[in-house]
A = this chain, B = another copy of it.
Amino acid sequence: MNNELSIFMTYLEKKSLRLTRQREYISQKIFTTKKHFSVEDMVDVFKNNGGALGRVTIYRTIALLVDAGLLNEIDFNKGCKYYERSLNRASHAHLVCKRCGKVTEFASSQLENIVDKIRVTKAFEDISYDFKATGVCSACKRK
């Protein structure tokens, strides 16, 4: 059922790392999150839910999830990293408005074609990717 958790467990085992109570809490919370989030967002989640976890542990767990291929790291020009779950996501670009900062997604299967070509012609492996288009959204343009 919980595919992501089982992938995480396999990853940890392969690296001789442990699925601790903290790692389980943090990853389960992330695996039920639909939106983009920053590390500080997650720190706040656990602060508010009483289950105080050290911010360092949250940083480290997210780094593990990125390395395991379960999270993509993305940059929205906001001064900190953001993350999104990567499993079974349709390929998409991120549109960031440089006026209002709003982020939207743009589905495009062509991105997969490009990545496939990179994989084949450059012998690049284990690829995660991020297409970011920065511009002015239609709402801001009207002003």
Contact = CB atoms under 8 A, between A and B. Distances in A.
A39 to B, nearest CB: 15
A115 B133 contact: yes
Contacts of A59: none
Interface stretch (A7-15, A25-33, A45-53, A118-126): A118-126
A120 to B, nearest CB: 11
A57 interface: no
Interface string A93-116: 101001000001010101101110
Contacts of A73: 77, 134
A106 B126 contact: no
Size bin of chain A's contact surface: 35 or more
The list of the 5 closest CB pairs from A to B, nearest first, reads A123-B138, A127-B135, A129-B133, A124-B135, A75-B75
19 contacts: A73-B77, A75-B75, A93-B118, A95-B118, A95-B122, A98-B126, A106-B117, A106-B118, A108-B117, A110-B110, A110-B114, A118-B133, A124-B133, A127-B135, A128-B134, A128-B135, A129-B132, A130-B134, A131-B131
